[in-house]
Structures are given as C-alpha cells and as structure tokens.
Amino acid sequence: MPQSASRSIPQPTAGYRALFALPGARSFLAGSILARLPMGMFSVSAVVMIAGTRGSYALAGSVVAVGLAATALVAPWTARLVDRYGQSRVALPATLLAALGGLTLLVCTRYSAPAWTLFAAYAATATTPNTGGMSRARWAHLLEGDPAALHTANSFEQAADELCFMLGPVLAAFLCGTFFPEAGTLVGVVLLVSGMTLFTAQRSTEPPVRPSATAAEPPYRAPGMPPLLAACLAMGAVFGSMEVVTIAFADARGHSTAAGAILALQAAGSCAAGLLYGALKPAGPAERRYPWCLAAMTALLTLPLLATSLTGSLLLLSAALLISGMATAPTMITNMSLVQSRTPEGRLNEGMTLAVTALLGGIACGSAAGGWMAEHLSPTAGYGVPITAAAAALLIALAATPSGARGTARPATTAPPTKHNPSRPS
C-alpha cells in the first residue's frame, strides 16, 4: 500500500491536489480535522460553562489546569498504546472515554455536583488521542520514499492545526453565548466522537503495527530528542504568554471582546504561512533550517512589543500579530519533521505526543509568566515574555546543532520513511 500510494504522485513537487487524490486521504483527513476542532473548544467551553453556573473563574481555571496536567501525564501512554496496538483498536475507545468525561463534566456542572467531581470529570478527557500525530503518521505511511510530498503533507497538517485552534475558541464562545453554557462542550463531544469514528474507519490508510517497536528505546532518550523537546517547551511558552498578554492588553483598553479576533489573526498568519511553506518545499536538511526559523520567530515577535509600546493601537497590534504569526507554522513544521526523523522506529505517535506535551507544559508556564508580567508591570512589558521564550528556543537549537548534524545522516535519505514509515509525521 505505501509503495503504490507513493507512486501515485507523479512527481515530488506535485503539491496539495495530488496528496488529496490518494485513495482514502480525503476521508481520513476529514475525520482528523473534525476530531481536532474540539481541541480548541474544550478549555474555553469549560471556563464559560463552569464560571457561568458556579460564578467562579478561579474554579474554572483550576479545573482546566488540572485537565492540562492530566493530559501531560496520560497522553504519552495513550500514544504508546496506539503505536503498539494500532490506531483503530486504541484511538476510538480512548476517545469514547474522553467523551464520557466531557459529558460527565457537563452534567456535574449543570446539576451542582460537588466541586471535586468537576476536576475528576475533566481529567478523564486526558485520554483524547493526539489526532494530529496519527494523521501525520498516515501521511508518512502513504508517502514512503517521497520526502518532498511528505513535507507538503506535514505543512498542510500544521496549517490544519492552526485553523482548528483559530476556529475552535470562536465556535465555543458563539455556542455558549448564543444557546446555553453547556452548548460548547456538547457540540465539542459530538464533533470529537464523529471525527474519530470517521478517521479510524479508514483502515486502508492506517500504518501497520510494528511488534518490534516495543523493544525500542523511549523517544525522549533518542539522540537529538531532548533538545527538541526543550525547544517545544520554550515555544509553548511563546504561545501561552502571547495569549494572556494580548487579552490583558485589550482589556486594559476597554476592548476585551476583541482579544479573540486579534489572536485569531495570529493563527491566520501562521495558517497561511504553513500552506505556503509546504508549497515552496525549501531545500536543505531540516537541521539547518530549524535555527533560522527560530531566529525569524524571535525577530518577528518584537513587532507586537513595538506596536504596543510605541503606539498602543489595537489595530497596529493586530497587524503585528498577523505578521509575527507567519513564522510559527514553518518553525513548528520543521520542529515536527525533526521529531519524526529522530523518534525510534514504530513509536512515532509517542514521540509526536511528547512534543505536544512539552508544548502544553510551555503554554502553562508562559501563561503564568505572561499573566504575572501583565499584572505586576504592564501588558506591554508582558510582550517581552514571548520574545524571551523564543530566544531561549533559538539558543537551545544552536547549542544542539552539532549533535543534530550528526543525526542528519539517519533521516537524510529515504531510510527514515522506510525505518519510521508507519509513524513519521512532520
């Protein structure tokens, strides 16, 4: 299957249309996007639902924080099971358990159950599989031996991530505000289960299970992986701090409702850049591109700081976030490509999930740091946090360049897809 699918692409530069023409690609991609959209909905929906019925943002924030911590602990184990037993056997049952947790949270919130039940219910949603990682693994399986086409596919996946996290909060806020506080959570659960059911039903594109993968070393011990995970932690701090600081800046100027739209522009810039990056197919190994991508991200992140400190204009801040967001997708695509190439054979979902877990941990740290700066100094000063975090990621990448270069030989040829084909997403 992977061989024939790969040959169905006329040439390495065929582009997005040829990818979607692969047998089964559109179906699993549709399911993947449906299942990913709720990831941008659940936290916003939970905050609105709990705060609206219990009258406490502190309780709502604590419940979401506990859910985030549970995800950091549980997600790698779920991914390991996916690698060991296959996507169709693990992903759907894990999703149903997560959906049950979401529905339990809804019922407990609506009927005034004790506060501890909210924490337990939301923690149960941590079993949600890393849909983006599984989708990338399918592309790697289908496009074995065609790194150019795989780059295009991984770029599309990153753009899809940005689109989902851009539309998810907006959809959640609309549903909760227009209908009833539990509407966002309810619709999110339906989308998650429907999308995962469609995704796992596409058995022809599912990467095969590699029994020998269980004997491989854990992904976090693989050569070159610790610096990548550390950089993911720093980049997560960029995203978390930027969100909190932007909300604080808009609120300080009496336009708190505009914060969501302003942040959506940043995601829109990243989405557009990701699609363009996939179409361009940059030359050279990812190890060399990675520091340049991080340098561009660090440089562009100075624009929001300049816009707020020099003018204080929300309009200019929106433009600055749109432009600065254009460095996000290319950086993440390159980062995930390196994670994919360095993860031990047959454990790609676990490796990708570890990267996502590091991002989530960074988001939590960045949110705390950005919030402290905005409250104790000023929202404008808070824009220094994402710059600092991006610079830290750049320093980590530069320090790891020698080991990364030595590791390039392994994924440089078509051997990585052959070795990691069932799980080499970008």
Report the pLDDT value the prediction gives residue 256, as an integer from 0 to 100: 67
Which of 125, 166, 142 minimizes the C-alpha distance to 28? Answer: 142
Which of the 8 DSSP states describes residue 205?
A: G
Q: Is the dihedral of CA 140, 328, 125, 65 positive or negative?
A: positive
Higher pLDDT, 187 or 51: 187
**Mean pLDDT for the chain?**
83
Concatenated DSSP letters of 10-22 = SSTT--HHHHHTS
- CB of 122 within 8 A of CB of 46? yes
Please tell me which residue, 174 or 234, carries the higher pLDDT value: 234
For residue range 242-265, list pLDDT tens digits in order: 888 887 888 788 876 677 788 888
Using left for φ > 0, alpha for ψ between -120 and 50, and beta otherwise, residue 222 falls in beta
Answer yes or no: is pLDDT of 415 > 50: no
At 55, phi and psi to the nearest 5?
A: 70, 30
Is residue 417 predicted with pLDDT exceeding 80?
Answer: no
pLDDT at 214: 54
At 181 the three-state DSSP class reads coil
Give the per-residue pLDDT at 213.
53
DSSP 219-249: GGGSTTHHHHHHHHHHHHHHHHHHHHHHHHH
What is the Cα–Cα distance from 362 to 5, expressed in whole angstroms?
Answer: 37
* Longest CA span, the chain: 60
Quick one: average pLDDT of 177-188?
A: 90
Tokens of 338: 């390196």
Confidence class for position 425, pLDDT limits 50, 70, 90: very low
User: Can you give the pLDDT at residue 212?
Assistant: 57
- What digits encode the pLDDT tens for the residues 343-381? 887 787 888 888 888 888 888 788 788 888 888 888 899
What share of the chain in percent tops pLDDT 70?
Answer: 89
Q: 331 CB contacts (<8 Å, ≥6 apart)?
A: 235, 290, 293, 294, 296, 297
The C-alpha torsion from 415 through 418 and 420 to 421, rounded to 10°, is 140
| Residue pair 100/388 in contact by the 8 Å Cβ criterion | no
Q: Are 232 and 335 in contact (CB under 8 A)?
A: yes
Q: How far apart (Å, rounded) are the C-alpha atoms in residues 78 and 114?
A: 29
Domains of the chain: 22-423 (1.20.1250.20)
pTM of the complete model: 0.75
How does DSSP assign 253-297, residue by residue? TT-GGGHHHHHHHHHHHHHHHHHHHHHH---S-HHHHHHHHHHHH
How many Cα atoms are found within 13 Å in the side-chain-facing hemisphere of 421? Answer: 21
**In the prediction, which pLDDT does 32 show?**
94
Question: How much is the pLDDT for 216?
Answer: 61
pLDDT tens digits, 123-133: 999 999 989 88
Which helix (DSSP H) or strand (DSSP E) does residue 56 occupy? Answer: none
Task: Summarize pLDDT for 79-106 with one digit per residue, the tens.
Answer: 889 988 999 899 999 999 999 999 999 9
pLDDT-based confidence at residue 406 (cuts at 50, 70, 90): very low
3-state SS string over 104-154?
Answer: HHHHHHHCCCCHHHHHHHHHHHHHCCCHHHHHHHHHHHHCCCCHHHHHHHH
Tell me if 320 sits within 8 A of 306, measured CB to CB.
yes
